[in-house]
Structures are given as structure tokens and as C-alpha cells.
Amino acid sequence: MASTRFSEFVKLCKLVESTSSRNEKIVLIASFLEKLQACEAGVAVRFLVGEIFPEYSDRSLNVGWVLFSRVLGGLRARQERLLEAEPTLLEVYSRLEKIASSSSRRRKEALLTSLLDTLSGEEVEYLARILFGEVRIGAAKGIVMEAIAKAAGCSLEEVKRAYMFLSDLGDVAEVALEKGRGGLRRVNLELFKPVKPMLAEMCYDLREALREHGGVTAFEWKYDGVRVQIHVRGGKVRIFTRRLSDVTSSLPDVVGELRSWLRADSAVLDGEVIGVVKGRPVPFQHLMRRIRRQDVRALLRKIPLKLQLFDLLYLNGRVLVDEPYSRRRELLEGVIGLGELLARRLVTGNVSEAESFLKRALEAGHEGLMAKRLDGNYEPGHRGKKWLKIKPYESIDCVIVGAEWGHGRREGWLSDYYLAVRDEETGEYLVVGKTFKGLTDEEFKLMTRRLLELTVRRERRVVWVKPSIVVEVAYNEIQRSPRYKSGLALRFARITRIRWDKKPEEATSIQELRRRFERQFRFKAELDVI
């Protein structure tokens, strides 16, 4: 099979972009994938959804818009082109890998120059879209999943299940096209290959949670910490964050604590790491600083960590994700015991008992409660009503897509942030407000450095950036807004914390925000009547 040229991939992007028909997009992508080698399909799929490396990879290109523009400007000024053969899809990917692995800025610039010099202007445009996560051809992950299913002759559900365990759509495409339906069906959870954690939907009160779960549910304390997934076999322990990064070396005390409690040959556990000082949990931001710092040992005395486990995905060779929550919890108690590592829990159908349990959680310094359906299975990477989160204040997760230079005391910092939520259908990030409130001076400085690295274009005082940084935003009200394409705006928005542990696709959706607005509107209408 002949190697596929990058120019052929760009032609596909143009065709997909030119049609508004979802079904036609699926057919175009599926027909293209069918002609590829499995390894090419993996690269093509990642590029289509605006990614370069597998989602679980820690590799980063670290090429900002300033560097890219300088290289591109140099090529235009020279007005010469290399006469070598145009690159294949895999050759472009290989060069991007080399750029990512280079620690020298000068070397990165030379490699990028060499790559862009082999591309046409149109190809450079689409490569730039890929590099900065702004492909914008209407090929959201849902469409690409359906195209993979069509190309491989399997069902969409089989593709979705494989994605739960592989945690990367490119890997799913490779398996589907190389091994077909049988290969996809054999995909399962494996030790030391982290999967995306199961996620929860927001719930507005305890009664609603009980109704949703059939009258009885399991309430757990909701901890303000770092979500971790721990893989264990024999003496080997690896700890991964919700972004699938390996942080084992940053958590030696957690590793030691787990080894002293765990009674199993092999296991995959889900839980939260919280910092505790004088018996009280420390703010999430302080904890994340410790996770990212290198001088871990020196910080152990300042912020000792405590592990709180609440789920078990794998035990002694057996995958448990299809078991009901009640059974998984029972097995977790069997291998951990009922001691201090186990998350606090109350199984009840009584609202008063649940209210008392919530009060104790808040008084202990935690965020609120989780409600977990007793017969619910574990769905990696999926957000649904089998798990519900109950907080005493309204907040959402937004992605920063732009920022303005500050005035006065904030002069020299990017400090007025454009907040966006994600459209589940198109993958587009839609602005729902701006805020400069909530961050410390140190966080403003850190955010400025990071946003400048993510710059994709500038408009006067506004710097537009690749959607990458997630922030938790508290607000007082959701309003209609003719100003924003989303049609909604957050009133009195303020950042409560930077979610370095979350990916942009984990942000709140515009669909969820609309549901919140409608609920809020109905409530107000009732007050007006009264």
C-alpha cells in the first residue's frame, strides 16, 4: 500500500469543511480511512480532531504562535521552496515528534523551518490549525467515531467502548482498521495503561439525586484534591492523574501508604489525593503546586498527603468495570479494609440523613457530596447520571480562549480572561463571559507566561489562545446575551481555581449551561407568580 501524502489529508479536510451534512462528513472521512495503513489512520484521526500525540502522552510540541509566525515570515521573505518530494502524512508526524523531543529553541525553529519549507501555503494553513487545536472543519469526535465504525465495519458502541479503555481516538482507529471488530471487542482495561476516569453530572439537591437513583443511593464526601488512578502489581505501583500523566515520583508518601494497606496481588484503584494540614484539607491550588514541584521530599512536611479511595476497577487479573458499584465497593473494602484510606460513605434513602452527612462534609472542609447509583457500572471517560455531584454553590468548568492585557496594578499581565464552554456537537468553544477576578498575583504571572506560549493570534489588546487551560468558575446567574455566539453569559463570574488536572474537552458543555439556564428561568418564573 502506497504511503499517503499530507496533501491528500489536506484535500480531505477541505472537503469535510465544505459540507454541512453530518452524514456526508462521516462518509468522506470513512472513505479516506479505508485507504490508509493502520498507523496512518491513527495519525489522520488525531490531526482531524486537533491533536498531535496520543491523549495519554506527556509529549508537547511547545511551539507558540510567535515562533511559528517568525518561521513562516522567514520562508515568505526568501520566496524559495525546496525541491524535495512533498512529505507523507507519517513524515509530517515524524518531524513533529522530533520538534517535540528537542529541548533547544533554535533546534525547534530549524526543524519547523525544514518542515514548512516542504509544504504549500494551503498545507501550511491546515498544519497551523492542527498545531494550535483550531482545525475547525466540523469533524468533532462524535463524527470521527462514527467514521471509524463505518470504515471498520463495526458498531459505534464498539468504537466507544474501545475508546474508554485506549483513551486515544488514534489508537482506536489503528486497532479498528488493523484488527477489525474482533480486535475492538478484545480491547479492555490493562495494568499500567491508565484509562480516563468516570465523571459525574451536576445535581442541584439531595432529593433530586435520590429520585434519579431510584430512591436510595450511596453518598460519598466530595474531596477537593487531585483525582488519581493507581495501578499495582506486586511491588510495582504507578499513579496517574485524570489527564493520564504519571506522577508516581511526586507522591512517594502515597505509594508507601498504599503498600501498607493494600491486600491484593494486582489492582487498579480510583481515588483522590488531598493535602491535610492540622487535620484540615488544604486548598486544591496548593496541592497542585506540590504535585508539579520537584523538591517533593522537602514539601512532605509542609503538605502531607492523604489518599481517599472510592472505587476498584481491576482486582487480581479480573476487570471489574461491568460490575455494579455496590459490588466494586464491597471488593474495595475487602482489599483496603474500613480504615482511613476509604472515602466516607452513607447509603440511604432518607433526605434528613443525607443532609446531615452533607453538613459534616462541609464542616470538615470538603466540597460537598457525590451520589453514586448502587447498580451502576464504571464507564471510563463518560459523564452521566450514574454519578452525581452536589455542591452548595453554582460553578462550571470553563476554558480560557483569550485574554486582555491588564490595566493599573495588573499592567503587564494577561489578566482579563475570555471564558468558554464546549459545544458537544461541533467541538467548538463558545465564549460565555469574561473575568479578571479570583487569581493571586503569582497566578496572574504564571497564567500570562502560559497563555503567551499558547497564542494563536493577536487583536490589539486581546491575545487569542489555543483552548488548553481549564478554570473552575463560580457565578451568580446565567443571562441571555446577544453579545456572544453562545447566546448566554455568566453574571459576576469569578475564577475559584485553575484546573491544571483537566483537559479542555472535560469543560462544561453549552448544552449543560442551557439546561441550567432553563432551570433557573423556571424557578424565577415561579417567584414572579408568587
Q: Which residues are catalytic?
A: 222
SS (H, E, C) 381-441: CCEEEEEEEECCCCEEEEEEEEEEEECHHHECCEEEEEEEEECCCCCCEEEEEEECCCCCH
Consecutive H or E run containing 285: helix 284-292
Helices (H) and strands (E) in the chain, counts: 18, 20
Cell of 439: 487569581
Q: Is 466 in contact with 386 (CB distance < 8 Å)?
A: no
Beta carbons within 10 angstroms of residue 139's beta carbon: 25
Instruction: Please give the grid coordinates belonging to residue 96.
Output: 513533529
- Dmax over CA atoms of the chain, in Å, equals 77
Amino acid at site 423:
D
E strand or H helix at 254: helix 252-261
Q: For residue 65, give the nearest of 140, 133, 136, 10 by alpha carbon.
A: 133
123 φ, ψ (degrees, to nearest 5)? -70, -35
Give the closest residue to 9 by CA, choosing from 38, 43, 39: 43
Helix 141-152 × helix 22-34 angle, to 10°: 50
Measured CA to CA, the distance from residue 38 to residue 223 in angstroms comes to: 42
Dist CA 530 CA 520 (whole Å): 16
Helix (H) or strand (E) holding 443: helix 441-453
Going by C-alpha positions, the residue among 367, 65, 64, 58 that lies closest to residue 202 is 367
DSSP lists the bridge partners of residue 406 as 411
> In angstroms, how far is CA 281 from the centroid of its own chain?
24
